[in-house]
Amino acid sequence: MTIIVTGGAGFIGSNFVFHMLKKYPDYRIICLDCLTYAGNLSTLKSVMDNPNFRFVKASITDREAVNKLFEEEHPDMVVNFAAESHVDRSIENPSVFLETNILGTQVMMDACRKYGIKRYHQVSTDEVYGDLPLDRPDLFFTEETPIHTSSPYSASKASADLLVMAYHRTFGLPVTISRCSNNYGPYHFPEKLIPLMIANALNDKPLPVYGKGENVRDWLYVEDHCKAIDLIIHKGREGEVYNIGGHNEMKNIDIVKIIVKELGKSEDLITYVADRKGHDMRYAIDPTKIHNELGWLPETKFADGIKKTIQWYLDNKEWWEEIISGEYQNYYEKMYGNRG
């Protein structure tokens, strides 16, 4: 089995690469990543010499490069993680989100049609559903929840999902889609909430919290997410959407306080800043479908997962300090410039 993993140098993609190489030692895993700011080749250092792994630096929007890769590797499956994903950046510059998240998805699916594929899997987000009110804890996103996007990022992901389903219906492309809640864990890019708070707290820098920190997110440990996608691509039904949630709803401010306490820092570091435009209040996923059909449940309680995550950042300071300093952007050319 040969699987192309797009965006495999990013946070969730890299964890998926590690999971698949460990669980299926006879699979060939090809990572396609253009190494934008959030793709970091040093993340993949531990697998670069694995004979069943190949890294290819190219964008999913580059039709010629994608077709060449399909001709060389004849993949059985594609798992598409590649996406511009930071909401704040999408507000500053929406166009790059449309190019990567929509047109890039189209290029990948066109290659899947042209060269034949057993499964194309689109990694999406619960943000396509919009948000839920804080005063209705009984409400959850299901696969039937109407799409109602809030940001250019979530609109671009929703557009890609619709395109994936259209390719399934029109061309018979064997597809699945997963929509996950907020992930956390090792190799999380330091501009996101949890790693940013860990890094800033360790350096005694202010901890910026939007609004009053009342926004609620459903947190999913990244390894649990990878196991869910593994199940979907092997056993999920074609043309289906699966919600993947952690059953770990937390207010942002409570997460920040947990991190502060765990690191032995003062809550005086917490600084409240002006809220994000169109900021969604609450996300919460009902993962009943994937549990009933595929037997998946999240295994990691937040109290355990956050401790493991904090410990990982303490043990791997070099990784995130390089990113914060910007040096990681030179890493590719320095280490792997001559690798195909």
Is residue 330 scored above 80 in pLDDT?
no
Q: Which two tokens stand for residue 52?
A: 């069943």
Confidence of residue 17 (pLDDT cuts 50, 70, 90): very high
Helix axes 252-262, 302-315, angle to 10 degrees: 50
Which residues face 123 on adjacent strands? 178
Whether 153 is a known active-site residue: answer yes
DSSP state string for 87-122: HHHHHH-HHHHHIIIIIHHHHHHHHHHHH--SEEEE
Which stretch of DSSP H or E encloses residue 240? Answer: strand 240-244
**Of 126, 161, 223, 224, which residue is the catalytic one?**
126
pLDDT at position 328 is: 47
DSSP bridge pairs for 218: 249
pLDDT in tens, 76-88: 999 999 887 655 6
More confident residue, 333 or 284: 284
Whether residue 49 has pLDDT greater than 70? yes
Q: What is the mean pLDDT of the chain?
A: 90
Amino acid in position 337: G
CB-based burial of residue 303 (10 Å sphere; 0-12 exposed, 13-18 middle, 19+ buried)? exposed
Instruction: Specify whether 126 is catalytic.
Output: yes
The catalytic position among 84, 127, 218, 223 is: 127
Q: Where are the beta strands (DSSP E) in 83-237?
A: 119-125, 175-180, 182-184, 207-210, 216-221
The active-site residue out of 120, 129, 153, 187 is 153
Q: What residue type is 99 in one-letter code?
A: E
Question: Is the Cβ–Cβ distance between 83 and 100 less than 8 Å?
Answer: yes
Long-range contacts from 73-76, C-beta under 8 angstroms, 24+ separation: 73/2, 73/4, 73/28, 73/30, 74/2, 74/115, 75/2, 75/3, 75/4, 75/30, 75/115, 75/117, 76/1, 76/2, 76/3, 76/117, 76/118, 76/119
The full DSSP string for 31-73 is EEE---TT--GGGGGGGTT-TTEEEEE--TT-HHHHHHHHHHH
